[in-house]
Structure 1
Amino acid sequence: MLARLSNAPRDYAWGSTSLIAALEGRAPSGAPEAEVWFGDHPGSPAQVEDGSGLTLDAWLAARATGTGAPDRLPYLLKLLAAGSPLSIQVHPSQDEARRGAAREDAAGIPVDAPERNYKDRNHKPEVIVAVSERFEALAGLRELTATRRLLTALGDEPGLRALRDSLEGDDEPAALRRTITWLLSGDSRDTVATVITALAAARSSEFGPEFDAARRIAAAYPGDPGVVVALLMNHVVLARGEALFVPAGVLHAYLSGLGVEVMAASDNVLRGGLTPKHIDVPELMAIVDATPGPPPFLAPRAVGDGVETFVPGIPDFALWHVSVSGGAERRIPLTGPAIPLAVAGEVTVAGGSGAAVTLHPGEAAFATPDERELVVAGDGELFIAHPGR
């Protein structure tokens, strides 16, 4: 069975006022539109457009009546539109989420409390694929040799020397862990102020994009220590169709652009700056992977003409990327319940049951697990989220 899905954009302050509207071909609402969720997550379940009036979680529960408890989707598919930087954040592993949620439950912390770190017992690995021509992000901690060159290019004021000294040592993860803890602890205000002042005039042939991004971050979050944490991270610019995979423990922040994001169905976030929300520094540092390295790019695997797949190697999700034109058809095998989401043109998606839907940019549908494949035709482009293997 195929059923159309819809949802209202979430109006987080960092959302773009134009990107989702432009994709959907409508006038902007005037409010920030940050994310559109396509899934059964209780935080914002999609509406099933079949006349039932049900959201997808209730719709799945109704279909399971008499056959046992409904299966929750293991993933959540989103459109994400960043007009300004999101918080620097990290997500827990499965074991960390289970232990953290149990600990906070035992302490009597309500799930909706602002100081709560673990909203559920699930991990939250995620993949973001750029839909705009340019998608900007921070992902992972940069190699320290390069970071030391960046800080040298920034200047030689005493506050900068203190930052460089904190990063010295043979154990690079330990040096980064020590430095991030110090920056977020509240004892680094003078250094943070010095770095932000130095950014205003900083120029570098090697680190120009990093300095430009940091200046924009500093303008959005004046005085925030996350500005300096951002300078320790890989600055990434994705072209359309390029992707990042962010596993547990990897610091990241999306800065600007429109993307399709698929993640494990969780709302667990530990924040590390660029936010007015709660930051639990000890818990954050307990789950951060402080190993420096290159950005976590995820290359697609070509499957056939106009078909590629992003497979991060986890059971929660994988993502098909399908382009079609000129009367061609693409047959996409599924491994369970799937959500196709159109991002360009007009595409028709048909299931083996004979049901079909036509999707335009920003429109999505839900394919029940009995649909073993989807046939895509028309002239356009879409992504299909489904469980991994």
Structure 2
Amino acid sequence: MELLRNAVRPYAWGSRTTIPELLGREVPAPHPEAELWMGAHPGDPSRIVGPDGDERSLLELVEADPLGQLGRECAEHWGNRLPFLLKILAVEEPLSMQAHPSAEQSAEGYAREEAAGIPRDAPNRNYPDPTAKPELVCALTEFHALAGFRKPERTVELLRAIETPGLAKYTELLAAQPDSDGLRALFTTWITLPQPVLDELLPEVLDACVLHVKDHGEFDVECRTILELGEAHPRDAGVLAALLLNRLTLSAGEAIYLPAGNLHLYLHGTAVEILANSDNILRCGLTPKHVDVPELLRVVDFTCADMPILRGEPSACGEVYTTDAPEFELSRCEWDAGETGSLRVDNGKPQILLCTQGSVRIKAESGQEIELRRGQSVWVPASDPAVAVHPAESGRTQLFRATSGCL
């Protein structure tokens, strides 16, 4: 069991206050800070902090002792790699719209791009690694997102509520076929519109959204989101695509799971995210980065339904967010002010424990003890004995546990 020092990623969409405040640093930061990474990702691995202050890369530690750090089952299944990455997300501005490929699509795409000789760090590379990238995001504050395709009948209602002369034919296209195939047809049409056509249609749609908001229409939140995206990306087809997705507001503790093919976009808020240790992203728009439309259409899942909100199910380690992802499992444990009960965390798998509120004492059966303050995390290798977690303060305390999933 070792304390971690974690990398901060300074993407432009991040907050200048959230992560610095979480880590007890000066606020505001000089530049936006978007993500705090906890894990063994080759691009920015966490550092193990020894008792005398010396540091070592967690990636190097795993590579040197995969069986001890990961456990035999995890090491053998994932090729001696830690299969998950844990993050804090601090979303101040919307991210790009994107989807992630399945394991089969990733393996095939990676092999294809390797054979074509595309450098792994090339801007037009879709598959820098051969693995899937499912993810789960759990809100720490109110968290706003677009995720998954809304039921087509409901989207037709939205399009008719903001209908313009230029939009009408697209509305009727979906109304005539209100199913996954109809969504695919409309989505494909919109993201392949010639720029001159898009430049005429988008202002019409945005003006209609302004009127809908002024009239306090039924789709006020959806229209405000389209206006926000349109202001940031005034000539981007992704603004139209956003009309097709579920608009979600998560309360603290609520989560959404994004399996392969789920088209999504994070809008605003702070969250804990756990995802497979992969960089495979197919972007749809709202970004200056590479957009490969044919490959995106191969990956996107056009299943249409309300997006399930996960609230955690009781387990031995607090509340667990159940998914079918074999790469990860996330659970959350909370103590109200004055509670003193302990949490036993059994071992046999690689684990990261992250304190997001208050502070906790973590004591191993070997006698080792670490106090974990807000914003800090520890690495617990598979070979370590079980640990007990106790709240170290009288106030409210929150702890997240990340580990590998069920194979």
Aligned residue pairs, count: 385
1:93 aligns with 2:102: yes
1:66, 1:173 → 2: CA distance? Answer: 46
Whether contact under 8 Å (1:34, 1:82) holds in the other structure is: yes
Matched, 1:84 2:93: yes
Query: Do 1:139 and 1:251's aligned partners in 2 also have CA atoms closer than 8 Å?
Result: yes
Q: 1:149 matched to which residue of 2?
A: 157
Equivalent residue number for residue 177 of structure 1: 184
Does 2:59 match 1:57?
Answer: yes
- Tell me if the contact between 1:89 and 1:252 (Cα under 8 Å) persists in the aligned partners: yes
Superposed CA deviations along residues 232-259 of structure 1, whole A, max 9, x for unmatched, are: 1000000000000000011011100000
Output the TM-score relative to the length of structure 2.
Answer: 0.89
Q: CA deviation at 1:262?
A: 0.4
Q: What is the TM-score of this pair, normalised by structure 1?
A: 0.93
CA distance in 2, matches of 1:287, 1:273: 15
For residues 156-192 of structure 1, the C-alpha deviation after alignment (integer angstroms, 9 at most, x for no partner) is x221113213323336212111222222224251323
Give the residue type in structure 2 aligned to 1:149: E
Distance 1:321 1:243 in 2: 11
Contact 2:333 2:399 survives alignment (8 Å): yes
Match of 2:402 in 1: 385
User: 1:216-365 counterparts in 2 under 5 A?
Assistant: 216-303=228-315, 307-324=318-335, 325-365=338-378
Query: What pairs with 1:125-144 in structure 2 (closer than 5 Å)?
Result: 125-132=134-141, 134-144=142-152
Q: CA deviation at 1:64?
A: 5.2
Cα pair distance change 1:160/1:170, threshold 3 Å: closer
Deviation for aligned residue 1:65: 10
Cα 1:343–1:207, aligned 2, differ >3 Å: closer, same or farther?
A: same
For the residue of structure 2 that corresponds to 1:54, the secondary structure is strand
Cα deviation, 1:301-329, whole Å, max 9, x if unaligned, reads 0136x921112132211112011353321
* Alpha-carbon distance, 1:151 to partner: 1.0
Contact kept, 8 Å, 1:140 with 1:296, in 2: the verdict is: no
Q: Residue 153 of structure 2 contacts residue 178 of structure 2 at CA under 8 Å; is this kept in 1?
A: no
Q: Could you tell me how far apart the structure 1 residues matched to 2:318 and 2:378 are?
A: 19
Instruction: Please give the alpha-carbon distance, in whole angstroms, between the structure 1 residues aligned to 2:166 and 2:298.
Output: 27
Q: Secondary structure at 2:285's aligned position in 1?
A: coil
Is the 2:62–2:82 contact (alpha carbons within 8 Å) kept by the matching residues of 1? no
Q: Is the 8 A contact 2:7 2:38 kept in 1?
A: no
- Runs (5+) with no aligned partner, structure 1: none
The corresponding residue for 1:114 is: 123
**Structure 1 position 161 matched with structure 2 position 168:** yes
Q: Offset of 1:194 from its aligned partner?
A: 2.0
Distance verdict in 2 for CA 1:292–1:335, change over 3 Å? farther
Is the 1:12–1:34 contact (alpha carbons within 8 Å) kept by the matching residues of 2? yes
Match of residue 204 from structure 2: 194
Q: Is the 8 A contact 2:209 2:227 kept in 1?
A: yes
Shift of 1:372: 4.9
| Whole-angstrom CA distance in 2 between matches of 1:181 and 1:351 | 54
* Cα separation, 2, equivalents of 1:289 and 1:385: 27
Q: Residue 17 of structure 2 corresponds to which residue in structure 1?
A: 18
Q: Which amino acid aligns with 2:94?
A: P
In structure 2, stretches of 5+ residues that fail to align are none
Structure 2 SS opposite 1:216: helix
2: CA distance between counterparts of 1:314 and 1:38? 18
After TM superposition, which residue ranges in structure 1, 4 or more long, deviate above 6 angstroms?
Answer: 65-70
**Partner of residue 369, structure 1:** 382
Q: Give the partner amino acid of 2:167.
A: L
Encode CA deviations 1:57-109: one digit per residue, 9 max, x unaligned. Answer: 01222345999998211111000111000111100000000000000001110
Task: Name the counterpart of 2:29.
Answer: 29
In the aligned structure 2, how far is the partner of 1:225 from the partner of 1:362? 38
Kept in 2, the 8 Å contact 1:193–1:223? The answer is no
